[in-house]
């Protein structure tokens, strides 16, 4: 089985970069599913940061994924697995893979600068490994509490990345990572590996800022006897503020939703940004997944611009099915629209909310002002309307008769008709609107 996971931290509202990570994992899984593979999508809430994790941020994660149409097969919380992490920590201590260290943050920074000044890699010097039991007792008597580091083997750590190709790091040039803080809490690295092993994660897709973490975690997988997943590290998105971040207020899904951006607009853009392919336009995530290929992502950091969403959104809106449109209207307590109205106005919508304006504008009893010089023309137009029910041919027959009768053509012919029927300078094609308005309403507006 193919098992992927999305692991957000509920320490802020999901920004567009977080959403992209979720989508890339989902697209990868969906494509495998389209190809007949058994697939599972795990949502793991990394909520071990007790101070910054908030229920409203976690709720926003669920809202975002549901809005996008992404369904998870399994939900896990790291806060419910603390006993499991403690069990592994004690095991690794007993095996000598975790060792106690007592330096303060200031002391570690001083060491780092000293190594840099000597043109040495700024890695931890493993002083903690040289401490005797007497040394540790003395330090603790001074009031110091230990943090624990994972001892890296001085060997090469290599993998074939789904985006970056062959990657290789050597343990000698990396710091032994802190895996238990002084207060007993655990940073991201070790719990994530424990979860990936326990949940059977087969593929990990995350930002390129985790590349060095992957090298370290490969050794953790080996130390715990777990199967190493396949990794993929696409480049991070940048925005007008630079690196996307919850703390810098990068655009989040709620802002996009409130602006009328369709979830499929976001999906189509984010699934292809960073590749050389044109942005695909599809109606469903299942269809979009057929275009997805991680190997097409380049190494350069793509720039995200919300204007690209606004440009794409009208194409997505006009492809919405009538069923989807009426479902959305029903959620707002509005009556359904018929196919003729939707087909007439859809090409002119930039967002679905614009539809409500056209529903009102096409309702019975509307009268729009016509310039004095065009009033007689409008009444003549009413008299020349073809007999019978209005259809897609009515407008052509009508305007041909009007042209012959009045000698008007081009803007002089069409503009007064548009103003009388819609009250606007621009809008949907009148040949599509006439059947929507019907004879009685059309005559009323022309004679208004």
What would the mean pLDDT of 379-402 be, rounded to a whole number? 95
Euclidean distance between CA atoms 334 and 327, whole angstroms:
10
| Paired sense of beta strands 147-150 and 39-45, if any | unpaired
Return the closest-CA partner of residue 300 out of 258, 249, 229, 237. 237
Residue 297: CB atoms within 10 A of its CB come to 21
DSSP lists the bridge partners of residue 232 as: 205
φ/ψ of residue 374, rounded to 5:
-110, 0
pLDDT at 414: 96
Structural contact between residues 319 and 281, judged by C-beta atoms closer than 8 angstroms = yes
Return the closest-CA partner of residue 274 out of 215, 209, 207, 202. 207
Q: Do domains 1-77+185-319 and 85-180 have the same CATH topology?
A: no
| Paired sense of beta strands 98-101 and 74-77, if any | unpaired
Euclidean distance between CA atoms 292 and 126, whole angstroms:
44
pLDDT at 180: 97
Q: Report the chain's mean pLDDT, rounded to a whole number.
A: 94
Residue 172: CB atoms within 10 A of its CB come to 12
Q: How many Cα atoms occupy the beta-carbon half-sphere of 419 within 13 Å?
A: 16
User: pLDDT digits over 221-269, tens only?
Assistant: 999 999 999 999 999 998 775 555 544 446 788 899 999 999 999 999 9
CATH level 3 topology of 372-447: Arc Repressor Mutant, subunit A (1.10.10)
Name all contacts of 28-34 with Cβ < 8 Å and 24+ positions apart. 28/4, 28/203, 28/205, 28/232, 28/292, 28/294, 29/2, 29/4, 30/285, 30/286, 30/288, 30/289, 30/292, 31/289, 31/290, 31/292, 32/2, 33/289, 34/286, 34/289, 34/290
DSSP 290: T
User: pLDDT digits over 124-167, tens only?
Assistant: 999 999 999 999 999 999 999 999 999 999 999 999 999 999 99
The lowest-confidence range among 20-34, 244-258, 390-404 is: 244-258
Q: How confident is residue 448, by pLDDT bands cut at 50, 70 and 90? A: confident
Element (H, E) at 409: none
Q: Quick one: tokens of 260?
A: 């009328």
Write down the domain spans for the chain: 1-77+185-319, 85-180, 323-361, 372-447
Residue 216: CB atoms within 10 A of its CB come to 22
What would the mean pLDDT of 164-191 be, rounded to a whole number? 96
The lowest-confidence range among 84-93, 190-199, 251-260, 391-400 is: 251-260
CATH level 3 topology of 85-180: 3.90.800
Answer yes or no: is pLDDT of 401 > 80. Answer: yes
Residue 383: CB atoms within 10 A of its CB come to 12
CATH level 3 topology of 1-77+185-319: Rossmann fold (3.40.50)
Report how far apart, in Å, the C-alpha atoms of 347 and of each of 15, 133, 283, 293, 390 are.
Answer: 30, 76, 16, 31, 21
Q: How confident is residue 51, by pLDDT bands cut at 50, 70 and 90? A: confident
């Amino acid at each position: 089985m193919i098992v992927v996971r999305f692991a957000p931290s509920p320490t802020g509202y999901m920004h567009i970069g977080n959403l992209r990570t979720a989508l890339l994992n989902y697209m990868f899984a969906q494509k495998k599913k389209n190809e007949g593979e058994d697939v599972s999508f795990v949502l793991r809430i990394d909520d071990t940061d007790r101070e910054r994790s908030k229920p409203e941020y976690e709720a926003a994660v669920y809202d975002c994924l549901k809005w996008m149409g992404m369904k998870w097969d399994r939900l896990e919380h790291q806060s419910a697995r603390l006993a499991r992490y403690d069990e592994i920590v004690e095991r690794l201590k007993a095996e000598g893979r975790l060792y106690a260290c007592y330096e303060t943050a200031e002391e570690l920074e001083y060491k780092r600068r000293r190594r840099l000044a000597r043109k040495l890699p700024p890695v931890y010097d493993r002083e903690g490994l040289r401490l005797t039991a007497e040394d540790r007792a003395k330090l603790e008597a001074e009031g110091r509490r230990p943090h624990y580091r994972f001892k890296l083997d001085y060997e090469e750590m290599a993998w074939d990345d789904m985006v970056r190709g062959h990657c290789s790091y050597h343990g000698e040039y990396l710091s032994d990572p802190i895996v238990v803080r002084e207060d007993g809490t655990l940073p991201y690295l070790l719990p994530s590996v424990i979860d990936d092993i326990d949940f059977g994660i087969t593929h990990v897709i995350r930002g390129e800022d985790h590349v060095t973490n992957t090298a370290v975690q490969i050794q953790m997988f080996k130390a715990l006897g777990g199967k190493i997943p396949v990794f993929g590290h696409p480049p991070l998105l940048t925005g007008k503020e630079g690196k996307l971040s919850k703390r810098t207020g990068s655009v989040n899904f709620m802002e996009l939703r409130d602006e009328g951006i369709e979830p499929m607009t976001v999906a189509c853009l984010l699934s292809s940004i960073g590749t050389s392919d044109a942005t695909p336009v599809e109606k469903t995530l299942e269809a979009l997944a057929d275009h997805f290929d991680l190997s097409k992502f380049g190494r350069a950091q793509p720039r995200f611009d919300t204007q690209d969403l606004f440009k794409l959104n009208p194409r997505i809106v006009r492809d919405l099915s009538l069923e989807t449109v009426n479902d959305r209207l029903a959620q707002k307590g509005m009556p359904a629209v018929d196919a003729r109205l939707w087909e007439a106005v859809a090409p002119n919508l930039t967002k679905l909310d614009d539809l409500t304006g056209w529903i009102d504008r096409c309702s019975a009893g509307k009268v729009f002002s016509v310039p004095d010089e065009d009033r007689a023309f409008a009444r003549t137009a009413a008299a020349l309307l073809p007999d019978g029910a209005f259809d897609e041919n009515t407008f052509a027959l009508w305007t041909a008769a009007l042209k012959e009768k009045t000698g008007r053509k081009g803007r002089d012919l069409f503009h007064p008709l548009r103003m009388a029927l819609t009250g606007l300078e621009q809008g949907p094609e009148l040949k599509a609107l006439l059947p929507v308005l019907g004879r009685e309403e059309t005559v009323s507006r022309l004679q208004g």
